[in-house]
A and B are shown apart, each in its own frame.
Chain A
Amino acid sequence: MSVQIKPSQAGTLESSDILIMLAPAEPGTGISIELVSPTIHQFGDQIKKVITDTLQANGIKDILVHANDKGAWDYAVEARVKTAILRAIS
């Protein structure tokens, strides 16, 4: 089943938060993530993993993600992605 996605965003640019923006992508193009983070060296891969895992757990296979990170911990990344998904499919 493919989910109808409309552009959405969740989160903020405040410290320890992350702004997640989702946009629909062509079927079969997969999940592509554009990440801006002050700790990209240390945590870039981890942030992308949390975003990908959360999207997949919600059945989303093809999507464009723009993430502007301000030092969010994993739980906050996950929460913001979940909200963005909720807003994208509602």
Chain B
Amino acid sequence: MKKDKLRRAMMFVPGNNPNMLQNSGIYGADSLIFDLEDTVSIPEKDSAPYLVAGVIKHVKFPCEVGVRINHLSTPWGRTDLETVLPSKPDFIRLPKAESAEEIKMIDEIISEVEYKCGFEPGSIELMAAIESPKGLRNAYEIATASPRMMGIAIGGEDFSTSLKTGKSLSGRELFVARSMVVFAAREADVFALDSVFSDIRDEETFTQEVIQAKEMGFDGKSCVNPKQVEIIYKIFTPSQKEIDHAHRVLEAYNEALEKKHGVISMNGKMIDAPMIIRAERVLANATAAGVYKREE
């Protein structure tokens, strides 16, 4: 897992809308996902891949660009890959992943195209969305099915439907699944991404979901609108207070190392190993987000 990379906000962009595709780079999302799946109607499934491949080649985006393909079991999944891969997206996102085999199949197709197009082998990454209990059960295997795998996400709408319920405002039906996705991601050392929240007018509930996602250990959240990107950053970017605290923790730690103190304390509080790891992560995130510069 590349530690310096941030994937706080992964913004979905409908794959059949040139206006939205070509302007999606200006909102500062860490990752863009051009969508060929849910936001593309069935009669347009044949046209969106051309558009997505075209925009990736034509526009220099300031961030990584992925493509969500249709599942390989649909009539479009394979064509999506064949059309889009030669434009060299940074990653492919597979929806409704249920097994390591699916990932391996896609991995092979990608490898072929990489070879044919002369791309560096392994340069196109993969991520998968867990949207069913079966997928959840296999989450770790999915996350480790290919060295291309850089992350797994939870797809909340489909998952709650498969539980015979719906996505509630509180999201309690997804709590366990969310946690398990984070567990699997951490074990596999890949990114963990939370589900989208599609009511863009309800900023309050969205904000609550983002806070929850951060607290649960997700690296970021998928989103559908520039406004949501802003909210995600507000919550995921370490605050000045957090940065200052992390800084003090590490200072105390380094000082103790120099002086060979056994017990490290700050303002009378003991500093233990997890605190140091957390402090390092806060500063790493702050550095990547551009709100903190490490002193040499």
The total of chain B residues at the interface (CB under 8 A) is: 14
- A17 and B47 contact, CB distance less than 8 A: no
Chain A: minimal CB distance from B132 (Å): 32
Range, interface on chain A = 10 to 19
- B19 and A15 contact, CB distance less than 8 A: yes
B77 close to chain A: CB less than 8 A? no
Chain A: minimal CB distance from B175 (Å): 39
Chain B: minimal CB distance from A58 (Å): 12
- B51 and A16 contact, CB distance less than 8 A: no
Bound CA span A89–B50, Å: 16
- B46 and A73 contact, CB distance less than 8 A: no
- B55 and A75 contact, CB distance less than 8 A: yes
**Which one of B17, B22, B47 has the greatest number of beta carbons of chain A within 10 Å?**
B47
Residue from B19, B46, B47, B58 within 8 A of A75 (CB atoms): B58
Chain A: minimal CB distance from B17 (Å): 7
Q: Which residue of A lies closest to B17 (CB)?
A: A14
Known A-B contacts A16-B22, A17-B19; A76 and B51 likewise in contact (beta carbons under 8 Å): yes
Bound CA span A78–B58, Å: 11
Residues on A with beta carbons closer than 8 Å to the beta carbon of B17: 14, 17
B166 close to chain A: CB less than 8 A? no
- A82 and B50 contact, CB distance less than 8 A: yes
Residues on B with beta carbons closer than 8 Å to the beta carbon of A15: 19
- B54 and A72 contact, CB distance less than 8 A: no
Contacts across chains A and B counted by CB atoms under 8 Å: 45
- A72 and B18 contact, CB distance less than 8 A: yes
- B46 and A87 contact, CB distance less than 8 A: yes
Bound CA span A87–B58, Å: 24
- A76 and B54 contact, CB distance less than 8 A: yes
A45 close to chain B: CB less than 8 A? no
List residues of A (34-90) whose CB comes within 8 Å of B's CBs.
72-76, 78-80, 82-83, 86-87
**A7-28 vs B, Cβ < 8 Å mask (1 yes, 0 no):** 0001100111100000000000
B5 close to chain A: CB less than 8 A? no
- A79 and B50 contact, CB distance less than 8 A: yes
Chain B: minimal CB distance from A24 (Å): 20
B57 close to chain A: CB less than 8 A? yes
Residues on B with beta carbons closer than 8 Å to the beta carbon of A17: 17-19
Bound CA span A13–B46, Å: 18
Known A-B contacts A78-B54, A79-B54; A73 and B47 likewise in contact (beta carbons under 8 Å): no
Closest 10 CB pairs of A and B: A75-B54, A79-B50, A83-B47, A75-B58, A16-B19, A76-B18, A79-B51, A79-B54, A16-B18, A82-B50
Instruction: Please list 29 pairs of residues, one from A and one from B, whose beta carbons are closer than 8 Å in the complex, sorted by A's number.
Output: A10-B47, A11-B47, A14-B17, A14-B18, A14-B19, A15-B19, A16-B18, A16-B19, A16-B22, A17-B17, A72-B18, A73-B58, A74-B58, A75-B51, A75-B58, A76-B18, A76-B51, A76-B54, A76-B55, A78-B50, A78-B54, A79-B18, A79-B54, A80-B47, A80-B50, A82-B50, A83-B46, A83-B47, A86-B46
- Chain B residues with a Cβ under 8 A of chain A: 17-19, 22, 46-47, 50-51, 53-55, 57-59
- Chain A residues with a Cβ under 8 A of chain B: 10-11, 14-17, 72-76, 78-80, 82-83, 86-87
